[in-house]
Amino acid sequence: MTDLIPLTALGCTAARHEKIGAFHLTERPNLALASLSLRKGQAVPSPFGLVLPGPGQAVWSGDHGAFWTGRDQWMIEANGQTDLAALLKAAVPNASITEQTDGFAAFELTTEQGADAIDEVMRKLVNLDPHAFEAGSATRTTLDHISVFLIRRAPDKLSVIGMRTYAAALWHALAQVARRTDADIDARLSP
């Protein structure tokens, strides 16, 4: 039998990380995802103790999180969890649950320069007002012509979740914008 080695969305055996000036770009292969859709007339549940968020919002509690994806629909996240869909189905047996982990690639961009640097990155990446997209915000948008979920986990942390087949293109787009933004910040700070 062939020995199979699990690879990340970028084709590596370990998560890729790159420091770009004041920015850190990190692949998150350990982020499990499952979609949760309520059936007609079903009350909104609280899986894993999460109060499921409304439109444009995300929440976290411990190793679990959720972000709104549509009316009565959410994406549930778990750090390092295997078979999230089965655990979610046990917690919410009457909902429609679909495992999503293998279909997506997740990346995080953080900075040592604070919220203004992430705001500048957002202005270059997506057509969203970064000042209205504060910590706890989530949306589906396009980034470099690729459909993604964008989540502002903290003022200085932006998560991008996109289809796994576009992982390399998303990494390239994020790294390029981080380089340009870091250079622009350096130019402004230079005497």
pLDDT per residue as tens digits for the range 123-159: 999 999 999 999 999 999 999 999 999 999 999 999 9
Cα atoms in the Cβ-side hemisphere of radius 13 Å centred on 130: 17
From residue 64, how far is each of 16, 72, 138, 144, 145 by CA, in Å? Answer: 22, 18, 15, 29, 29
Q: Domains in the chain, start-ordered, CATH in brackets?
A: 17-189 (3.30.1360.120)
Average pLDDT of the segment spanning 69-78: 97
d(CA 29, CA 98): 18
What confidence score (pLDDT) does residue 6 get? 86
Average pLDDT of the segment spanning 58-75: 96
Task: Indicate the pLDDT class of residue 186, thresholds 50, 70 and 90.
Answer: confident
Average pLDDT of the segment spanning 57-74: 96
Q: Is residue 190 pLDDT above 80, yes or no?
A: no
- Whether 46 and 52 have beta carbons less than 8 Å apart is answered as yes
Characterize 137-166 residue by residue with b for buried, 16 or more Cβ atoms within 10 angstroms of its Cβ, and e for exposed.
bbbeeebbeeebbbbbbeebbbbbbbebeb
Task: Give every CB contact of residue 69 below 8 A, 6+ residues apart in sequence.
Answer: 35, 75, 140, 149
Nearest residue to 143 via CA among 118, 157, 122, 158: 122
Residues in the chain: 191
Average pLDDT of the segment spanning 84-99: 96
Task: Indicate the pLDDT class of residue 177, thresholds 50, 70 and 90.
Answer: very high
Amino acid at site 99: E
Which backbone phi and psi does 129 adopt, to 5 degrees?
Answer: -80, 110
Q: What is the mean pLDDT of the chain?
A: 95
Average pLDDT of the segment spanning 91-112: 96
Which backbone phi and psi does 158 adopt, to 5 degrees?
Answer: -120, 130
Three-state SS at 81? coil
**Percentage of residues of the chain with pLDDT beyond 90:** 91
